[in-house]
Amino acid sequence: MTGIAVLGSTNMDLVAYVARAPKLGETVTGREFRTVPGGKGANQAVAAARAGGEVTIMGAVGSDAFGDQLRQTLISSGVDIDLLRTADGPSGTAHIVVDDDGGNAIVVVPGANGTVTALAPGDETLIATADLLLLQLELPLSAVLDGARAARRHGVRTVLTPAPAQPLSDELLSAVDLLVPNEHEAATLTGTADPHQAAVELLRKVPEVVITLGAAGSLHASRDTEPFTVFAPEVTAVDTTGAGDTFVGTLAVALGERRPMAEALRWASAAAALCVQRHGASTSMPYRSEIDNAS
């Protein structure tokens, strides 16, 4: 079984479904409201566990009722939460608007995630024994860098999802093995909106890149191979929240199983396509048998 360590956020997603998102200063009436466990770290952990990985998450939930629900969701998906701490105060929350096309806009309030500024006791031992470490950018950058450095010390493959988009130091990028931005994040990191050009730029900093292109699939580029695109299955999206996290969590399991990159990307795309056809983040992530049937 692929051992996956996730150092990342847990959020309670507070989701309003609307015909169209409001502009600044405007009020619109929503159709429905849901609370759904999410957070990029927890989402990647849940996706990887459901895809068949042996997954442990490091991070923090708050001491509120959301914290209990977030822990329960992880446990029920088979994620080990022994290294998930409880910080005094509120859990992370994500305030999400999902429109009729399934697109979303998100405001994240870090809460407990903001208290994770460095690795905690036990975290490095876990990282050392994992096949892969998954990182995102919803924890303070100091913790992300700490995790990436620990993985480098122990020769563990590090996968970074650079979301939410922000400029990153060369120090962090030099400790990353595989970077998985979406088009918008790739543009933020490189200043170019063309994914092929962005991939070329990113390869100056990291050895391997997968740029996710939404419904158009994903673009793989590395320093040693020719770039190639894997197309995504054609589906009708109702909610794209967590699709990128599903893609990364599933991809990590496939890579840990030493599947060739193109096959791993097809499997991850199938999982993300299943995710967007359902509502919510963790609630929409598929199990391994479903991904196998769809790919």
Active site (catalytic) residues: 245
- Residue 158 near ligand RIB by CB under 6 A: no
Cβ–Cβ under 8 Å, residues 9 and 213:
no
Instruction: Specify the residue, 11 or 250, whose C-beta has the smaller distance to ligand RIB.
Output: 11
**Of 4, 5, 108, 116, which one interacts with ligand RIB (CB under 6 A)?**
108
Tell me which of 60, 218, 245, 247 binds ligand RIB, using CB under 6 A: 245
Q: In the complex, what is the shortest distance from the CB of residue 83 to ligand RIB, in angstroms, rounded to a whole number? A: 20
User: Which position has the token pair 């396509």?
Assistant: 273
Spatial contact of 163 and 40, defined as CB atoms under 8 Å apart: yes
- Pick from 2, 113, 190, 241: which binds ligand RIB (CB under 6 A)? 241
Q: Which candidate, 249, 294, 218, places its Cα nearest to that of 51?
A: 249
- The residues in 161-220 that bind ligand RIB, with binding defined as CB under 6 A, are none
In whole angstroms, the minimum distance from the beta carbon of 79 to ligand RIB comes to 15
Residue where the block lists tokens 């056809």: 277
Helix (H) or strand (E) holding 5: strand 3-7
Answer yes or no whether residue 240 interacts with ligand RIB by CB under 6 A. Answer: no
CA dist., res. 19 & res. 279, Å (int): 15
Q: Which of residues 24-43 bind ligand RIB (CB under 6 A)?
A: 38-40, 43
Of residues 94, 148, 264, 268, which one binds ligand RIB by CB under 6 A? 94
Smallest gap from residue 113 Cβ to ligand RIB (A): 9
Nearest residue (CB) to ligand RIB, 85 versus 279: 279
5, 6, 13, 286: which one binds ligand RIB (CB under 6 A): 13
Give the CA-trace dihedral at 109, 19, 73, 138, to 10 degrees. -30
Query: Cβ of 110: how many Cβ atoms within 10 Å?
Result: 20
Rounded Cα gap, residues 77 and 65, in angstroms: 19
CB of 12 to ligand RIB, least distance (A): 8
CB of 256 to ligand RIB, least distance (A): 21
Q: Which of 53, 62, 111, 242 binds ligand RIB (CB under 6 A)?
A: 242
3-state secondary structure of 100: coil
- Of all residues in the shown chain, the one whose CB is closest to ligand RIB is 38
Non-local (6+) Cβ contacts of 131 within 8 A are: 2, 3, 4, 156, 157, 256
CB 237 within 8 A of CB 102: yes
Instruction: State how far the Cα of 254 lies from the Cα of 135, in Å rounded to an integer.
Output: 17
Decide: is 281 part of the binding site for ligand RIB (CB under 6 A).
yes
Q: Which of 11, 73, 91, 188 binds ligand RIB (CB under 6 A)?
A: 11
CA triple 177-180-181, angle to 5 deg: 135
Binding site for ligand RIB (CB under 6 A): 11, 13, 38-40, 43, 94, 106, 108, 138, 241-242, 244-245, 281
